[in-house]
Chains A and B, each alone.
Chain A
């Protein structure tokens, strides 16, 4: 107690700064500010504000074309369009089923391939050569955006949902393996050690010591990926890989904005539903 009171009252304290050297600290602050101002200027200086002003009503008109969101809803009273509208709804239904099929199969295939790669990519359970190999696969899978892989797959397998399925499976591997591996790397080594000490074989060790620790996260990530794959299935369709994206592109190509709006609303609805049910399932898992 005596020691504490010796410390003079009124002694100031403030949290030590993250970057210790004041020169470097202020240099970074000022440098970042100058860069931000110049970068913003370099972009804004080229904007034609007159064009933006004229474009606003054009954008509003474009958006207006989406309403009401039902195929040919704005002209359906004029007669003769009911049949076309029905045909569009069938097209949408077909595209949707194709998309959902692509989503489910690609997620399932992706998970099956991701699990062994994820195990191999975890530094704490895989030997160095396996680790590097699996990390390599993940890096390749992650470095290409879905659309680029889709273009490649369409070129290789032709138009249609097969190209889309391969694309999404490939993209799933990069996502799921990486996050699974990271979860394994941050597991509690004590539990795994205890299972090893019983004289278990390697696969038994994984099944008892590792799997229970990472399973909730693996399921959560898989549900999330299902969600992503559905959204991506509508994007890869635009480059010809089948699914609702192809239907959407066709609708735009025909200037049938109300059909496009129907499709967009359905996509939003399904994503909402997926989000909601995934949340429910995840809550039950813990």
Chain B
């Protein structure tokens, strides 16, 4: 247990001490009889982790299980870590201030490759060896889950087990099995041998293959409505409804689209009930909707109408996420009185949008913008990517043309006097489980050249241009498609000071490159093109969507042929075999 007196002495000296305290409203009973203690960790700061809907679901699910107590730990800020080290404090759970060694299972939720060093940072602060092979019976089982498990190969060596897929299925069964095995007095090794047979569980020390676990019936799946209400400000400080999982659109660069398939919805009535309970139980001022493409929800209008009624009654703001361009519904938009509009055309020309399968036409863009501006929109945010396969100068010019079009349309149709246009560009990162998983990433020099070009061309009145850091995109790409050799690179990067790499102000490209060099690896090995017949580091995972489908999609991309949204007709991606695809 952590020295409470010491902790309270150092807390006034660190930024935002509330991050390290727990004690939020709706905290589950930590004193209930239990024979299994789990600590769920998020490899980023409290305010980021507490905004994660997956962590929220799993935390409450485990705490609602008889005999199981689940606590949380987040990556402490650098100032807190320094104080902890100075005072000999180990990383502790927020609820009961237990250390890692006091738990049966420590689970990391990893949603972003640039969080890998934070995992080691947390292990280091917790005083546990990084490599699973170095951790004996005295240490808890340390497992990983989350979207990065689409290719966990670079971090396999750090974990006893990898949970591939949805935690409602594999984490629940993993914890349950461990309780039984613990009661039987099994060793870690004996337990892992049994755990390797569970759906969606991969044990690196055993190897083999694994199929991603998914919730078959999302409508009946566990969803907490008596959720923790943080006492300090967090990134997404609001109630969130999860409308559905998976995405029917199939944008060819988008990992989430394919990873979260099959597509499964929650029923409108279920969501309305959950909304009501969330509003009552939390006191949140805002309710938002979560999914990969809210526009595709089968009865969005009906749902929004129902939510609006409840929200108005309870003085709650209903926050709609950005709607896809081709399904922009002005009526819904006007009802929610939004003053800004977020569109993500992703590419500047129709040709490139066809390549990436962003099924949005110039006509869609035109009509949607006209409608939005006529409804009084004052802020337009546009998201694009640069460095997409087959991109040319013409495509970059297309981005500029769209921005100019917004200005022109505002002059013609705008109801508001002023218009603010924010343009953001991300750099294309070839990600596993996408049709572009074999593509090369453009070089840093090319990234800078494209960004500089747009900086020049978008120097327009009321237009603000922001761009994603080129260097971190390179490291993210390398880690995303990395193999087992990268474990030592990640360790080296951490040991030389890389931490909170996803925070621009903390990311240090030179240290990463030095870490690659130290391990005798050229980062370009991981950012270049991969032959389509070469084995991939993530081939041992059956994520549902088949390699053959991804290859077919890649071919269509190069022909500029689009694949329609699969809501109307199944495109045969393979995800339905996991169960539950709603069409």
Q: A and B from one assembly?
A: no
B contacts, CB < 8 Å to A: none
Binding site for B on A (CB under 8 A): none
